[in-house]
Each structure stands twice: as structure tokens, then as C-alpha cells.
Amino acid sequence: FDVIEPFARELAEHGRTPRRRKGVLQLIGNALLVQQRVAGRVAIAEKPDVLWEKPELDRLYSRLEDEYELKERLDTLERKLTAVSETANALTDIIDTQRSLRLEIAVVVLIVIEVAIGCFQILSGTH
């Protein structure tokens, strides 16, 4: 969130993304890495395999789960990751839109140049 906040603040205050595209892409890459690490390593919602082997530990696990509020922490973590993911998606959409706009402007400029050259050739050929 400390990394995302400056991007979001600049977007809110100035209505545009920061000029440093590399920084935005690094933010997106970091968000993807965090999501993959958490998804791969943290299996809080699943009970450990040892409980299948020793069912008498189930009560202990339930008490620990309640004491450390594992489900609540999982929900909080998932909400934070969702916020990071949505921010990354919004930033990539904005970058794509800006890139598309520049491309459209370039196409229009080229068409205007082509029309101007065509008009010049027609006018110079008729004189």
C-alpha cells in the first residue's frame, strides 16, 4: 500500500499517471509476485495434513485458529490483494488508453499529411 499510494495520489490530484512508466510496470510486477507468493505458500483456509494423521490435534488447531484469528486475517489479506490487483489493472488500462490515443493521433496526422501531399500534387499537376 505504501508503494501504491503515491501512484493513486498523483492520479487523483492531477488526473494522470506518473511519467515513469517503468515504475508503474514494476508496481504491477510486484503486485503479481505478491499474489503468487501468497497463493502458493499460504493455505490458511485449509487444515494442515498432520490433522488427518493425528485427529486428536484437531481441537488444538481449532483453538489456535480462533486465538490467532486466522480466518479474519485471511479475509483481510485477500481484500488487500484484491485492492492491489484492481489498482494494477486500473493502471494498465490507463497506460493502454494513453498509448492507444497517441497511436490514433499519429494515424490522423499521417492521414492529414497524405491528404496535403495529394492536394499539393493535384494542384501542382493542373498548373
Give the tens place of pLDDT for each residue, 14-66. 776 666 667 777 777 777 787 777 766 556 667 777 878 888 888 888 888 88
| Range with the largest mean pLDDT of 81-85, 100-104, 121-125 | 100-104
Percent of the chain predicted with pLDDT > 70: 83
Q: How much of the chain exceeds pLDDT 90, in percent?
A: 18
- Residue pLDDT, tens place only, 118-127: 999 999 885 4
Q: Give the Cα separation of 108 and 105 in Å (integer).
A: 5
Helices (H), the chain: 4-14, 21-41, 50-53, 58-67, 70-126
Mean pLDDT of the region 67-86: 82
- Between 16 and 71, residue with greater pLDDT: 71
- Residues 6 or more apart whose Cβ sits within 8 Å of residue 71: 44, 45, 65
Given a cut of 90, whether residue 117 has pLDDT beyond it is: yes
> Residue 21 and residue 44: Cα distance in Å, rounded?
35
Give the Cα separation of 28 and 85 in Å (integer): 8
pTM: 0.59
